[in-house]
Amino acid sequence: MNYRHIYHAGNFADVLKHAVLARLVLYMQKKDKAFRVLDTHAGIGLYDLSSEEAQKTGEWREGIGRLMLAELPPQVAELLSPYLSAVRDLNPNGGVRLYPGSPKLARMLFRPQDRLSAMELHPDDLGRLSRLFEGDYQVRVTELDGWLALGAHLPPKEKRGIILVDPPFEEPDEYERLVKGLAGAYRRFPGGTYCLWYPLKKGAPIKDFHQALQDLEIPKMLCAELSVRSDRETTGLTGSGLIIVNPPFTLKDELHALLPVLKQVLAQDRFASQRAFWLRGETQPEER
């Protein structure tokens, strides 16, 4: 386990993931009934972007750094407001020194009845995450393989939930694991809203991945992708995608408003691109 999210916190991929996570949490709150967020690969929860690690890559500058400085159209500013308000609340003196990871962001948006279960395996990260939420009765941090949590922790007792699966993609088979993980989790909890993260980079098996997801025959599956640069000259991360199962019915339109603006703000070259479409469900055949 070499991956440490502190090097990448707040980058363009976090921006897309966290903007969508915030929309999912907000949508759940349209009903009074409690829900649970299951964060299977949680990280440390709160990131100091002035740390040596974050400064070393400087990735956040091309992500949340740009977004915080951008002039946003009103509709997009409103859609991003839960996410960006959380970032601003952590940085009352302006700028972005502290950045909320997925568990912290979800927790910041919670009402008293909402709950978080966060899994982490890296010993240092687990320690930090546990300390961050020490004494918080709404949060349970567990040292557990996130893939196992998809079985052991579903369905949640609230019977309403968002399941974020955000693995580090250190292993070559992680796309297949996502598909298998979703298949098992969905069987246990078909009513959950799932959000799966995956990387876009040169040679990534995206077509096969999408096909394998379609083959699961889960009725409602939305895909959102944002690439910030061409993959011609690099083998590194050039974009990221999210698969959202059982999305709020408003999400597709929201993505169609958000993604072009995020692309404009985060683009690193003229090959930046974005798309949001039903992988399965509402409008078929697939529209792009």
Integer Cα distance of 284 and 288 in angstroms:
11
32 as an active site residue: the answer is no
Q: Is 273 annotated as a binding residue?
A: no
Binder among 3, 81, 216, 275 for ligand SAM (CB under 6 A):
3
Closest CB to ligand SAM among residues 39, 62: 39
Considering the rule CB under 6 A, would residue 145 count as an interface residue with ligand SAM? yes
x-or-dash string of contact with ligand SAM, 59-98, rule CB under 6 A: ----------------------------------------
Considering the rule CB under 6 A, would residue 10 count as an interface residue with ligand SAM? no
Q: How far is the CB of 217 from ligand SAM (least distance, A)?
A: 27
Q: What is the 3-state secondary structure (H, E, C) of the chain?
A: CCCCHHHCCCCHHHHHHHHHHHHHHHHHCCCCCCCEEEECCCCCCEEECCCHHHHHHCHHHHCHHHHHHCCCCHHHHHHHHHHHHHHHHHCCCCCCCEEECHHHHHHHHCCCCCEEEEEECCHHHHHHHHHHCCCCCCEEEEECCHHHHHHHCCCCCCCCEEEEECCCCCCCCHHHHHHHHHHHHHHHCCCCEEEEEEEEECCCCHHHHHHHHHHCCCCCEEEEEEECCCCCCCCCEEEEEEEEECCCCCHHHHHHHHHHHHHHHHCCCCCCEEEEEEEECCCCCCCC
Q: How far is the CB of 132 from ligand SAM (least distance, A)?
A: 12
Closest CB to ligand SAM among residues 224, 280: 224
Amino acid at 118: A
Q: Is 153 annotated as a binding residue?
A: no
Q: Is 146 annotated as a binding residue?
A: yes
Considering the rule CB under 6 A, would residue 183 count as an interface residue with ligand SAM? no
Considering the rule CB under 6 A, would residue 147 count as an interface residue with ligand SAM? yes
Q: Is 127 annotated as a binding residue?
A: no
Q: Is 41 annotated as a binding residue?
A: yes
Taking a C-beta distance cutoff of 8 angstroms, is the pair 174, 197 a contact? no
Catalytic pick among 166, 215, 231, 253 = 166
Interface of this chain with ligand SAM, residues 111 to 130, rule: CB under 6 A: 119-122, 125
Q: Is 5 annotated as a binding residue?
A: no
Considering the rule CB under 6 A, would residue 43 count as an interface residue with ligand SAM? yes
Closest CB to ligand SAM among residues 8, 210: 8
In the block, residue with structure tokens 């993980």: 181
Specify binding-site residues for S-adenosyl-L-methionine: 18, 41, 102, 120, 145-146, 166
- Chain positions contacting ligand SAM, by CB under 6 A: 1, 3, 5, 14, 17, 39, 41-43, 101-102, 119-122, 125, 145-147, 166, 168
Residues designated as active site: 166
Specify binding-site residues: 18, 41, 102, 120, 145-146, 166
